[in-house]
Amino acid sequence: MIKVEAIVREEKFEDVKAALNKIEVTGITVFQVMGCGIQRGYTELVRGQQVDYALRQKVKFEIVVSSEEWAEKTIKAIQEAAYTGNVGDGKIFAYDLRSVMRIRTKETGTQAIN
C-alpha cells in the first residue's frame, strides 16, 4: 500500500478532485494548510502599505492506494490537474505504508482501503 500526499494551490482544488474522480480514486482526505517553498511567501499592498506574507494558503490531499500502478496513476492525475508552470504549484510525496485497519470491520491491508 502506498500513501500519496499532494500539496497544491487552493485554486486547483476542484481540478485535482475532478481528476481523481475521473480515474475512480474516491478515498481522499483534504486539509487546508499553509506553507512556503522556494518562493518564501509573497508581498502585497494592503491599504497602501507593503505587507510580507511568509506562508501561502494551500490544499493538501492524502490518498492511500493499493499498488504501485495506482500510485503512478494517482500521481500523474494530480500533476496534470495541479500544473500551472509557475513557482508554487506544489509537491507530491509517495511512501509505503506498513499497515491500515478499517475501524468498523477490523479489516486490514488492501481490504481496508478497497
| Residues 72-81: tens digit of each pLDDT | 999 999 999 9
Asked if residue 62 lies in contact with residue 93, where contact means CB atoms within 8 angstroms, the answer is no
Domain span at 67: 2-113
Q: Is the pTM of this model over 0.75?
A: yes
What's 103's domain CATH number? Answer: 3.30.70.120
Q: List phi, psi (to 5°) of 108.
A: -125, 170
Contact 7, 60 (CB under 8 A): yes
Q: How many domains does the chain have?
A: 1
Listed residue (83, 113, 80) closest to 99, CA to CA? 113
d(CA 43, CA 51): 6
pLDDT mean across residues, the chain: 92
